[in-house]
Chain A
Amino acid sequence: MKPSPFDYHRPAGLGEALQTLAETGSHGKVLAGGQSLIPLLNMRLAAPGHLVDINGLTELATISADASGVRVGALARHAAVERAGSARAVQPLLAQALALVAHPVIRNRGTVVGSLVHADPSAEMPAVLALLGGSVRLARLGGERDVHARDFFVGPLESACLPGEMAVSAFFPALPERSGTAFCEVARRHGDYAVAGVAAAVTLDEDFRITAARVACVSVGPVPVVVDVTGVCGPRPPASVDWDEVARAVQDRIEPEDDIHATAGYRRHLTGVLVTRALRGAAQDAAQSTAHDAGEGRA
């Protein structure tokens, strides 16, 4: 099917984009990579009166990384963020998760910030932002605000971005020293949305004991479900953690539902398995970076 008609706006700068969004209000929608919006338009599940195409705003195609974290601009495509060496060095979870977002061809157009605003509970990027406690910067005519991940994801396909607002960037904080991350998921085929998926971050102390452990689960609730499992994991070395207990602690917190792809029970089971897999992977990653740091310290 084809989209229904809309008025097309192609602002030359951010100011003009915000002006148009202010004028069109709830009838206006931002068009970024189009990889979620255009399918909805083609199937006529959405029919906005005005589209504000931000693909000309190349000043928003930025990826900047420093010791505090990675800031990704609204026009940075998934593929560009995945490839950016500076982002990978500061926050490796971004590239780990992006490799699981759709297919490479979709990643050439889709944007990280668009994925956050779209707020699909099965999507990887919202889980990454939620796990790391990042934020999204929302601009409107005459002002801007930073919204923490915890308040940004409101419900399935619903974010805190209001009519008249545009997300201009997102910030993914770095983790403390001796930390590691992993993203594990199960999908029907590589590149499909996950039936269940878990992002994990683990921090170790100098004796390789877990001092912080968190997971964010996708496809098992209206928004990414973040669970802090530091209490059940630490302070112990990964080899002496009772992983079944950790999995149960997370399974108690999720609210999976039945759909055509999987039953709620199967999603709950998968989440338990993936929690263990992701946390152990993250702990191993942390141990490697700890050993690496120690090695550098001696040299």
Chain B
Amino acid sequence: MSERTGEHRHAVTLTVNGVLREATVPARRLLSDCLRHDLGLTGTHVGCEHGVCGACTVLLDGEPVRSCLTFAVTVDGHEITTVEGLAEGGELSPVQRAFSECHGLQCGFCTPGFLCTVTAFLRDNRTPTDEEVLEAVSGNLCRCTGYQNIIKAVHRAAEIQAEESG
């Protein structure tokens, strides 16, 4: 579209899941669209595009952010981790395994956002209370699970993490 409108394009370099990636995008390209359309990483989902649902959450320099509320040009030169980057050496991460074990997903639409959010949360807080877990996932919407199994999965992930580091 921007080729047709003659809109100015910007060269952007991102380190996505440890790999240096380049794209040439108009300034208004959302990071979510850059990841999905320009870089072909469709694991990041887009629900609302105004920051409410959390499906598009990715890690920017390790911290969870809404990729639908970030322009790709703004984060030129930074590191992004998407759901595709959570597994280590072909093995699901503790958080991914816990979601699978505890049935923390049904249709899976919200899952990439939950996984990224919870991964950063459990890195910073390895033994969270019930209250802290509730707050940590309160910015992500799920229309299927009723949340209870997601909450269980977060606690289970903390357990797996502790077992494997202990």
Contacts and interface: CB of A to CB of B under 8 A. Distances in A.
B139 A42 contact: no
A253 interface: no
B83 interface: no
A189 interface: yes
Nearest to B26: A5
A299 interface: no
Nearest to A56: B74
A102 B139 contact: yes
Contacts of B63: 79, 108
* Interface bin, chain B: 20 to 34
Contact of B28 (A3, A35, A108, A190): A3
B28 A4 contact: yes
A4 B57 CA distance: 23
Contacts, number: 89
A298 interface: no
A189 B138 contact: yes
A108 B65 contact: yes
18 contacts: A2-B30, A2-B49, A5-B7, A5-B28, A8-B27, A8-B71, A8-B73, A10-B73, A35-B69, A38-B30, A38-B69, A42-B30, A53-B74, A55-B74, A103-B138, A103-B139, A191-B138, A191-B139
Interface of A: 1-8, 10, 31, 34-35, 38-39, 41-43, 51, 53, 55, 79, 102-106, 108-109, 189-191
Interface of B: 2, 5, 7-8, 10, 26-28, 30, 33, 49-51, 54, 57, 60, 63-66, 68-71, 73-74, 117, 121, 134-136, 138-139
Given A42-B68, A43-B50, 18 more contacts: A2-B30, A2-B33, A3-B30, A4-B28, A5-B5, A5-B26, A7-B27, A8-B71, A34-B71, A35-B51, A35-B69, A42-B49, A53-B71, A53-B73, A53-B74, A102-B139, A105-B66, A109-B70
